[in-house]
Amino acid sequence: MQRWAFLVLAMVLSGCQRGDAPQAVDYQTLGELRVATRLDPLSYRGGAAADAGGYEHDLLLELGNELGVPVRFRVYASAARALDAVRDGDVHLAAAALGKNGNARRIQWTPPVRDLSLLVASSAALSGEISTLNDLAGRTVTARRGTLAAQRLRELQSTLPTLTIDLKTGESDAQLLAEVADGRIALVATNEAQLAMAAALRPELESAVALPGVASMAWALSENAPQSLVDSLSKFIRQAHDDGLITRLEDRYLGPVRRLNEADITWFVERMQSRLPPFQPMFEAAAEETGVDWRLLAAMGYQESQWDPLAVSPTGVRGLMMLTDDTAARMGVQDRLDPAQSILGGAKYFSLMRESIADNVAEPDRTWMAIAAYNLGLGHLRGARQVANTMGHDNTTWVSMRRVLPMMSKPRFARRLRAGPARGGEAVIMTENVRAFYDILRRLGNSGDDAPTALSPSASVKAP
């Protein structure tokens, strides 16, 4: 009798009847939303929970806030295993940079989270050799097994029978693109977001030719998931598109990688190896004292001086962090050309800028605005925010302020600023460059080889 009672209880908790596919315990009963993901630059960037990120990661944290439960991420080795976790009832949904695929068994999909253009990527060594789909005849294109890019290649084979497709299992798009950059494989079928992420670290990568159609990235649920959860996800995604959350996240993760050109990236990566090492302990010490990520400080230092402690500008700013004489005095810097003093002074000044921004500006927009204020002054930033408000723009987001700031040098807008005209366009360029350099430092400093294990109250990670 006890054995049968246990079996009945297990069936109730799993939310399924005999013969049905397993179903995860309701997230409200469980007290958390369980999400299957994988290490991927677009979906989930590993690290300690406080340092974890990714386009889908951040979007899911917003979903958890909407549902009133924390999100527990389970990191799987591949997208296929993440989908298996949904089918097996181990998680409520999978969000792993998945292309919406109607052929996936026992899976239903949310509305599209974002659209993705599919393409074939190559290295610069093949530049000009492939400009149309017909140029793929007689060539081998590599793709991840089970992806929409692989599916499009198979469809293309009907008109290009000499096209060879090499399907890979267990390797991410980022790994395959790295092999293209290293010359180990020639062509990879992927999407524009994955290529943009990879090219930010390996600028020799480029799009060779576009594949037909547009793919949709979406979240996967079990075919027998509760309708209430399906409806909640659909409503959330629609609202995220309508209220600009999707746009802000795209800017957060895809905006920086589009700023730099090939030469910028090449020089930065080279100087990371040749110039940064002796200054890294100084950045880390400043971070320890101010609470600012050392990699962000290093990115600012590179933008200011290319990590040259003796840098001097025609306007009189000096040192690795390019401090004015007045700012240096306020921050207790006695010698602006001393790199340790300059870095700590710059960190303190940036921290002051960030703390002085209005409380209604949340992170990471607060940090981006503080970088702009580091360049043009807090008074000018506050004036620009007031102008943005009168123009009907959301002055709490960097996406909006990035459009408004360049106007501050024009007389009709400068007249509204108590502090006078502002070099708003210059501040935007600096901020966008710092964001890009910071993104590279974070990604190169986190190889993603190990699944994250640290937990936080709002989001936790588990590697099965």
Q: Would the pLDDT of 197 be above 90?
A: no
Answer yes or no: is 49 within a domain: yes
Predicted pLDDT of residue 180: 94
To the nearest whole number, what is the mean pLDDT of the chain?
Answer: 85
Among the listed ranges 102-106, 194-198, 201-205, which one has the minimum average pLDDT value?
Answer: 102-106
Do 340 and 199 share a domain, yes or no? no
Answer yes or no: is 78 within a domain: yes
Do 100 and 188 share a domain, yes or no? no
Predicted pLDDT of residue 386: 85
Do 331 and 436 share a domain, yes or no? yes
Predicted pLDDT of residue 45: 82
Answer yes or no: is 463 within a domain: no
Separation between Cα atoms, residue 306 and residue 298, nearest integer Å = 10
CATH number where 225 lies: 3.40.190.10
Answer yes or no: is 65 within a domain: yes
For residues 389 and 141, the model is more confident at: 141
Answer yes or no: is 459 within a domain: no
Structure confidence at residue 421 as a pLDDT band (50, 70, 90): low
Among the listed ranges 195-204, 320-329, 352-361, which one has the minimum average pLDDT value?
Answer: 195-204
> pLDDT digits over 299-343, tens only?
999 999 999 999 998 878 999 999 999 999 999 999 999 999 999
The encoded tokens of residue 116 equal: 């993705």
Do 289 and 224 share a domain, yes or no? no
CATH number where 395 lies: 1.10.530.10
Q: Which of 129, 304, 355, 432 is catalytic?
A: 304
The encoded tokens of residue 361 equal: 């500006």
Predicted pLDDT of residue 425: 83
Do 285 and 414 share a domain, yes or no? yes
Predicted pLDDT of residue 457: 29
Do 310 and 415 share a domain, yes or no? yes
Do 305 and 158 share a domain, yes or no? no
Answer yes or no: is 429 within a domain: yes
Answer yes or no: is 457 within a domain: no
Q: Would the pLDDT of 463 be above 80?
A: no
Q: What residues have CB less than 8 Å from 131, skipping those under 6 apart?
A: 208, 209
Q: Is residue 234 within 8 Å of 97, Cβ to Cβ? A: no
**Tally of domains within the chain:** 3
Do 425 and 276 share a domain, yes or no? yes
Question: Which single residue is written with the structure tokens 């006890």?
Answer: 2
Predicted pLDDT of residue 12: 39
What integer is the mean pLDDT of 423-428?
83
Answer yes or no: is 454 within a domain: no
* pTM score of the predicted model: 0.72
Do 272 and 361 share a domain, yes or no? yes
Q: Would the pLDDT of 396 be above 90?
A: yes
Q: What percent of the chain has pLDDT over 90?
A: 57
Do 243 and 151 share a domain, yes or no? no
Predicted pLDDT of residue 303: 95
CA dihedral (436, 437, 439, 440) positive or negative:
positive
Q: What residues have CB less than 8 Å from 305, skipping those under 6 apart?
A: 311, 319, 320, 321, 322
What integer is the mean pLDDT of 172-197?
92
Residue 305 belongs to what domain range?
Answer: 262-444
Do 119 and 205 share a domain, yes or no? yes
Predicted pLDDT of residue 454: 23
What integer is the mean pLDDT of 32-55?
82
> pLDDT digits over 55-94, tens only?
999 999 999 999 999 999 999 988 889 999 999 999 999 9
Q: Is 62 a catalytic residue?
A: no
What integer is the mean pLDDT of 145-167?
93
Do 204 and 271 share a domain, yes or no? no
Separation between Cα atoms, residue 34 and residue 460, nearest integer Å = 9
Structure confidence at residue 48 as a pLDDT band (50, 70, 90): low
Q: Would the pLDDT of 360 be above 70?
A: yes
